[in-house]
């Protein structure tokens, strides 16, 4: 879930001052409307890696909003009084009344993660704690408590730079302790477990907001906007007078709105000669891997997603060119039939799960729930938000049964898509590939990019997405084939 939080967002001083003024005004307005309505309470959970500015953010929120109606609670190791009671007791005690806001530092996630990182608890206990948290948060949502869950993220290198910078200045040296450096040594384990925890506890009722914390200005604006969006969204869902809707519709924009997709180098190319040479070698390599005796203990599930005209079909044909036609199927996914729509949305994909030794290739997939259905409004927000967890569970089930799940997002620029659309219209044998809906979808490009970034963040981790720079078809097809070969070799040799 951390890809977009490691691209180094930057916000200059002048940009920050302009955005800060609007944001502070909007936050205060939202806070007073919350206080007036008393329809729900707000709990902001502060979590993240060491050195990411969690404490600074707590101070910032009390500075930007009316501190009389914000309570800040910090939690350390349980006291003897707390230890004699159920784990969640100390958090229950400080839940704010409706109309008020509470910021929790060191909440129910911090203890669960710390115990697992330090190996004081095992995997089963960690997963059980996450189940408890999910039920607790679902109950809070039903009881009119709005949870704003923030994870402050730094890459390992950025964390080390932050510690070294603070340690080098006598005025700030006190801010970096031996415990901080010890935490840095455990960074990789912490990141792995934190990502698993965030995926397992990300829900429609209480989604996570991951903050790129390398730049303090960006971090501050991202937090302020996240809190504002959560409160105004909840106000809009409650009995708020319609006259306030237009006023609430415009949220202050972040100056640096780059996403993970914006960092891709889509100009990568491969010559026709290199393509032909590598294609034959990689197809042969893949053919041998799927005929290997070890593959009989596994199946292969390939998922291809991408913008229209990104080259999914061409990439799939180069894969199937290496496979025995008796042992694979390609499943093109379109709108659900009446039979499929009458059942849970994953039903139609469960029908195509392959046997051991077989391959199934999905040309679009179950991710339609969090892409097209989300953007086009075919699924309500609670439905596509809960789909992330359901998809993660589905894919984990496939892998536990021996499936090798490999997911591709073929990334294409808007200009290249337009060029391909026009080319398709001019070629009689390709006209069937372009429809009025394809042209209409281009108007929702930004909404689709936002949905894609959420999808990659919330369904990555152990089954990470393979991002394929697809403006050059030759480069994309070779990257797809090489990725499949390398993943199968890793699995079959284990």
Tens of pLDDT along 179-235?
999 999 999 999 999 999 999 999 888 999 999 999 999 999 999 999 999 999 999
pLDDT for the residue numbered 35: 92
Residue range 73-87: mean pLDDT, rounded: 84
At residue 248, does pLDDT exceed 80?
no
* Structure confidence at residue 434 (pLDDT): 67
Is 50 exceeded by the pLDDT of residue 246?
A: no
At residue 462, the pLDDT reads 65
Residue 254 has pLDDT above 90, yes or no: no
Buried b (16+ CB within 10 A) or exposed e, 276-304: eebbeebbebbeebbeeeebeebbbbbbb
Is the confidence at residue 108, as pLDDT, over 80? yes
- Decide: residue 218, CB within 10 A, 0-12 exposed, 13-18 middle, 19+ buried: buried
Least confident of 15-19, 92-96, 290-294, 427-431: 427-431
304 close to 364: Cβ distance less than 8 angstroms: yes
pLDDT of 38 above 50: yes
Cβ–Cβ < 8 Å for 176, 167: yes
Q: For residue 327, which of 289, 363, 278 has the smallest C-alpha distance?
A: 289
> What is the enclosing helix (H) or strand (E) of 11?
none
Statement: residue 291 has pLDDT above 60: yes
pLDDT higher than threshold 70 for residue 326: yes
Q: Residues, the chain, total?
A: 494
Neighbours of 272 (CB within 10 A): 8
Residue 440 has pLDDT above 80, yes or no: no
Percent of the chain with pLDDT over 90: 65
Residue 429 confidence (pLDDT): 60
Provide the pLDDT for residue 192. Answer: 92
pLDDT tier, 44 (very low <50, low <70, confident <90, very high otherwise): very high
Q: What is the dihedral sign for C-alpha 83, 89, 90, 91?
A: positive
pLDDT for 355 beyond 60 = yes
What does the pLDDT average to over 104-108?
92
Strand ordering across the sheet containing 208-212: 70-74, 101-105, 41-48, 145-153, 208-212
Can you tell me the distance from the alpha carbon of 229 to that of 211, in angstroms, rounded to the nearest whole number? 14
**In the predicted model, what is the mean pLDDT of residues 174-178?**
90
pLDDT at residue 367 in the model: 97
Query: What local confidence, expressed as pLDDT, does residue 242 receive?
Result: 45
The whole-chain average pLDDT of the chain stands at: 90
Give the pLDDT score at 240: 47
Nearest to residue 303, comparing CAs of 354, 369, 346, 364? 364
How far, in Å, CA of 286 to CA of 321, rounded?
A: 10
Most confident listed range (229-238, 430-439, 466-475)? 466-475
- Find how far residue 163's CA is from the centre of its chain: 27
- pLDDT at residue 244 greater than cutoff 60: no
Q: Is residue 118 pLDDT above 50, yes or no? A: yes
Asked if residues 439 and 417 have their Cβ atoms less than 8 Å apart, the reply is no
Predicted local distance difference test score (pLDDT) of residue 121:
86
Q: Output the six-digit token pair for 270.
A: 């491969």
Give the pLDDT mean for 367-383: 93
pTM of the model: 0.76
**pLDDT score, position 469:** 97
DSSP track, 393-432: HHHHHHHHTTEEEEEEEEE--HHHHHHHHHHHHH-GGGGG
- 1 neighbors 48 (Cβ within 8 angstroms): no
Q: What is the mean pLDDT of residues 355-380?
A: 94
């Amino acid at each position: 879930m951390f890809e977009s939080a490691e691209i180094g967002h930057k916000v200059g001083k002048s940009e920050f001052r302009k955005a800060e003024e609007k944001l502070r005004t909007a936050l205060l307005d939202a806070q007073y409307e919350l206080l007036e309505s008393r329809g729900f309470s707000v709990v902001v959970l502060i979590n993240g890696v060491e050195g990411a500015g969690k404490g600074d953010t707590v101070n910032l929120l009390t500075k930007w909003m009316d501190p009389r109606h914000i309570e800040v609670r910090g939690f350390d190791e349980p006291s003897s009084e707390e230890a004699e009671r159920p784990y969640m007791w100390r958090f229950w005690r400080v839940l704010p009344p409706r109309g008020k806001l509470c910021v929790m530092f060191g909440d129910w996630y911090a203890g669960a993660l710390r115990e697992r990182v330090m190996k004081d608890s095992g995997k089963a206990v960690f997963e059980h704690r996450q189940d408890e948290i999910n039920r607790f948060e679902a109950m809070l949502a039903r009881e009119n408590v709005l949870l704003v869950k923030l994870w402050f993220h730094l890459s390992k290198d950025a964390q080390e730079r932050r510690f070294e910078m603070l340690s080098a200045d006598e005025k700030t040296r006190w801010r970096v302790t031996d415990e901080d450096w010890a935490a840095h040594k455990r960074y990789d384990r912490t990141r792995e477990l934190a990502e698993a925890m965030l995926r397992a506890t990300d829900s429609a009722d209480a989604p996570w907001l991951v903050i790129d914390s390398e730049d303090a200005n960006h971090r501050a604006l991202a937090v302020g906007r996240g809190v504002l969006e959560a409160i105004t969204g909840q106000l809009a869902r409650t009995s708020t007078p319609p006259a306030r809707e237009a006023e609430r519709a415009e949220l202050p924009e972040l100056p640096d709105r780059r996403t993970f997709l914006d960092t891709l180098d889509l100009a990568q190319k491969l010559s026709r000669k290199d393509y032909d040479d590598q294609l034959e070698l990689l197809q042969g390599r893949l053919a041998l891997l799927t005929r290997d005796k070890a593959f009989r203990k596994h199946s292969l599930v390939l998922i291809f997603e991408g913008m229209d005209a990104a080259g999914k079909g061409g990439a799939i044909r180069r894969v199937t060119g290496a496979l025995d036609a008796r042992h694979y199927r390609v499943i093109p996914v379109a709108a659900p039939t009446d039979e499929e729509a009458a059942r849970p949305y994953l039903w139609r994909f469960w029908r195509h799960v392959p046997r051991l030794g077989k391959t199934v290739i999905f040309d679009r997939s179950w991710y339609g729930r969090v892409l097209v259905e989300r953007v086009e409004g075919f699924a309500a927000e609670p439905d596509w938000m809960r789909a992330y967890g359901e998809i993660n569970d589905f894919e984990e089930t496939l892998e536990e049964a021996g499936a090798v799940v490999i997911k591709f997002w073929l990334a294409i620029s808007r200009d290249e898509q337009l060029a391909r659309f026009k080319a398709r219209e001019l070629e009689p044998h390709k006209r069937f590939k372009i429809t009025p809906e394809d042209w209409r979808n281009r108007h929702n490009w930004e909404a689709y990019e936002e949905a894609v970034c959420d999808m990659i963040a919330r369904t990555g981790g152990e089954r990470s997405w393979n991002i394929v720079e697809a403006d050059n078809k030759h480069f994309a097809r070779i990257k797809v084939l090489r990725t499949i070969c390398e993943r199968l070799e890793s699995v079959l040799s284990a």
